[in-house]
Amino acid sequence: MTAKDRWLDGEAGPVVRPYTLTRGRTRPRGDSLDLIVVLEATGVPERRRARLGPEHRRLLALCRRPITFADLASEVDLPIGVVRVLVDDLRDENLVRALKPTPAGDAPDELVLRKLLHGLRAL
């Protein structure tokens, strides 16, 4: 068995250990990402010193439109912990922002919104 054969599985394709993608990190440095948090690309140009691998670039491309973390993780064939660390790298570079959902208790009452809309229409 050659070194090349050891990193290639005939059915699965190339075999790469998850810790190599995250450079050994197992947890995000920033806030943890809930499954329902919405991620979107900031549009900030990538800095030259940013060391983004192909996995980072794929996640960034998927974040061009707002997407929940759960949906993002399901789009790529990586463990969820790895996706958390990679998204954290993108947040560190200010390439992706996380939009926390509004808690149900903080949402305005539907009746208040209807009255507001009625008042605006009356103007």
CATH of the domain at 32: 1.10.10.10
Q: What six digits make up the tokens of 88? A: 């954290």
What is the rounded distance in angstroms from the CA atom of residue 78 to the CA atom of residue 38?
19
Q: What is the pLDDT of residues 79-113, one digit of tens each?
A: 888 888 888 888 888 899 988 776 666 667 788 88
DSSP state of 76: S
Q: How many structural domains does the chain have?
A: 1
pTM as predicted: 0.63
Query: For the ranges 3-12, 29-38, 43-52, which has the lowest average pLDDT?
Result: 3-12
- Phi, psi angle pair for 96, to nearest 5°: -135, 140
**73: domain range?**
3-122
Distances (CA, A) of 106 to 7, 50, 54, 117: 51, 37, 39, 19
